[in-house]
């Protein structure tokens, strides 16, 4: 996709360049929001898991069958990092 963007950027059409620039800005903004949300989710999961290990919550969690949650890990296709 980056190759296509670079080819389009080379075109003399000013309006197309402006539109493409806006699109790239929106894409960066969306990627940053996703990255922030993943980080926040992992922080909350870490807190939840830590609370499950502390007495007396660990006893209650065991009785209710509550299990630890897993952290989100993006694969190489979706991480963008």
Output the pLDDT for position 47: 97
Report, in angstroms and rounded to the nearest whole number, the Rg of the chain calculated over CA atoms: 22
Cis omega (within 30 of 0) for bond into 49: no
Output the pLDDT for position 77: 60
Global pTM reads 0.67
Do the beta carbons of residue 46 and residue 40 sit within 8 Å? Answer: no
Output the pLDDT for position 54: 94
Torsion of CA 76, 77, 78, 80, to 10 degrees: 70
């Amino acid at each position: 996709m980056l190759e296509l963007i670079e080819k389009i950027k080379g075109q003399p059409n000013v309006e197309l360049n402006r539109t493409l620039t806006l699109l790239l800005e929106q894409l960066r903004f969306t990627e940053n929001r996703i990255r922030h949300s993943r980080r926040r989710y992992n922080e909350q999961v870490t807190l939840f898991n830590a609370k499950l290990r502390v007495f007396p919550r660990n006893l209650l969690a065991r009785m209710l069958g509550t299990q630890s949650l897993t952290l989100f890990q993006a694969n190489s296709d979706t991480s963008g990092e």
